Amino acid sequence: MSKKTQHLLTLGITLTVALLMIGFYFSEVRRSQELFKENNPSSSFNPIPSIRLVNRERADVAEISFYYEGNRTYLTAYPDKWEYSDSRGYILSQRRMRDKAHASWWLFAQWIAHENREELELSQFGLDPPLLIAEAVYHDGSRHIFKLGSATANRLRYFFILDDDPAVYLICESVAQKLMLGVGDMLEMSLPPISAHDAIYIRIAERDAMPLVLGLREGNDTPTLEGMQEVGGEQLIMHEPLAGISLSHSRLIEYVIHPMSQLQLLELAELHPEDLAPFGLENPAIEFVFNDIHFIFGDTFTRDGEEFIYIKLADRPHVFITEAHHVQSLKGLQALDITERSLALVPIADVEHVTIETTENIFMLTMNHTRETYEISPTINGIPVDSESFRRIFIQIISLRADAVIEPRIPIEPPEIIITHHRIQNPDTKILLYNHNANFLAVSIDGNEIIFATNRRDVERLITTLKELIL
């Protein structure tokens, strides 16, 4: 095929596609005209797509007033924000206020419904009186007056007139709805971010349950972002009910931070209810505080097979709706669910030896570190054991954990078992185990108050393994 033939073929294809597109455009216009006539049989005028009514800059607008449902309100334009006269002290969305004012500088009509309104009975179009009147005032002293009428039969468009223009236009439903936005429609629905890196204080209070309170370590008033990233939020510890206990970062993220960070306000349930009881918020199901953010959760309900829950922010009077699954992990949350449950998570490289004292035996597990190769030549009571067996025993020791919260007490009786980590770089860690019942041993770390217990079976299994290895 010659280059000339290829060129002609390409040109032919291009022209064919262009003709098809033009044909499609006019068919759509014709279809729109037919649809208009179906919904407006009394009109003798054909619709004309996309008529520009207002074409200005946002910076030109000084103020726009609205008269709607018997109330007059104002949106005042500033260089970097909008202010609404009927805000009632509520926190409003700048984006939504901008949406309401948008027609004052950029407005298109879709069709001309009638070219001369003098010939019409405007009340039939909801324009006498109008559904809404808006007056836009500009910095150059000019102004526009908008009058919004009723919706068409299919409710996709609204009748509209501008200033003294004799025509009656049709604007799309979305533009009309924005003009009619009320204060409840413009509430700020976005929430402050929740992140483990920013956590200073967390409080979770479930109805009829002891609250969980997490905060900074004593003397650490200002966490650094770098520090929080490095240790994954470990600057937070539990303050209540297990004061001073370290947190499990992964479980804190899983059960608390992540679900709360995904929380979204879906819709407004009531703008300013006088009574919170119908929403279950008078006696909340759950309260969640993150730094200075305070969420209050009420009753759940089902709609279209999905479960939702009422939510209120403590500093706002409104009641919103959100998805219930966000708070599911907070229900029944226990202190041990988010704390570091290991009794002593000590790295083997920092341990010189471990002693385990029972009423019958004393076991000394010595590492004998070789610093150059980071290897160990372990012994138990002076008897060499292979490294693999020794490491399995050490894992059993550091895997002992808090399995239950018990009534706090100061121990006065002698312990049944003492496990001491004699550390190389840090102070020794001593775990004292006391009789609690047939299933649990009460735990004191370094002689401090007993607040939880460990499973007796795990400790007995450890002692049995040691005996089988050397006795």
**From start to end of 56-98, where are the E strands?**
61-68, 71-78, 81-84
**393 and 379 in contact (C-beta within 8 Å)?**
no
Tokens of 362: 């004393």
Q: Is residue 188 part of a domain?
A: no
How high is the mean pLDDT of the chain? 87
**Euclidean distance between CA atoms 205 and 216, whole angstroms:** 18
Domain contains 290: yes
**Among residues 146, 181, 216, which one ends one of the domains?**
181
Same domain, 156 and 208: no
Q: Is residue 253 part of a domain?
A: yes
Q: Are 203 and 328 in the same domain?
A: yes
Helix (H, G, I), strand (E, B) or coil at 40: coil
Dig out the tokens for 227 from the structure.
Answer: 């520090």
Q: Report yes or no on 3 lying in a domain.
A: no
Instruction: Name the least confident of 157-166, 256-265, 440-449.
Output: 440-449
Q: What percent of the chain has pLDDT over 70?
A: 85
pLDDT value at residue 347: 82
Q: Provide the whole-model pTM.
A: 0.74
Residue 28, pLDDT score: 44
pLDDT in tens, 326-366: 999 999 999 889 988 888 878 888 888 999 999 999 999 99
Residues 332 and 205 in one domain: yes
Q: How far is CA 125 from CA 120, 149, 170, in A?
A: 9, 6, 11
- Is 60 exceeded by the pLDDT of residue 23? no
Provide the token pair at 374. 């980071």
Co-location of 318 and 201 in the same domain: yes
Q: What angle do CA 247, 405, 256 make, to 5 degrees?
A: 35
Percent of all residues in the chain with a pLDDT value above 90, rounded to a whole number: 62
Same domain, 303 and 405: no
The DSSP-derived string for 418-447 is EEEEEESSS--EEEEEEE-SSSEEEEEETT
Closest by alpha carbon to 456, among 437, 431, 428, 429? 437
Q: Are residues 358 and 420 in the same domain?
A: yes
- In angstroms, the CA 343 to CA 461 distance is 16
459 plus 377 within the same structural domain = yes
Residues 311, 364, single domain; the answer is: no
CA 246/CA 357 separation, integer angstroms: 26
* Domain membership flag for residue 158: yes
Are residue 214 and residue 311 in the same domain, yes or no? yes
Q: In terms of domains, do 139 and 229 share one?
A: no
Position 93 in a domain: no
- Mean pLDDT value across residues 153-178: 95
In a shared domain, residues 419 and 323: no
Q: Is residue 249 part of a domain?
A: yes
Domain count within the chain: 4
Domain that holds residue 27: 10-37
* C-alpha separations of 396 from 454, 460, 467 in Å: 13, 11, 14
Among 149, 181, 213, the domain boundary falls at: 181
Distance CA(208)–CA(213), nearest Å, equals: 15
Residue 2 lies in a domain: no
Check whether residue 58 and residue 33 sit in a common domain.
Answer: no
Strands 383-384 and 379-380 come out as antiparallel
Check whether 369 has a pLDDT greater than 90: no
> Worst-scoring range by mean pLDDT, 27-31, 133-137, 253-257, 457-461?
27-31
Query: Range with the lowest mean pLDDT among 134-138, 196-200, 249-253, 342-346?
Result: 342-346
Contact yes or no for 104/54 (Cβ under 8 A):
yes
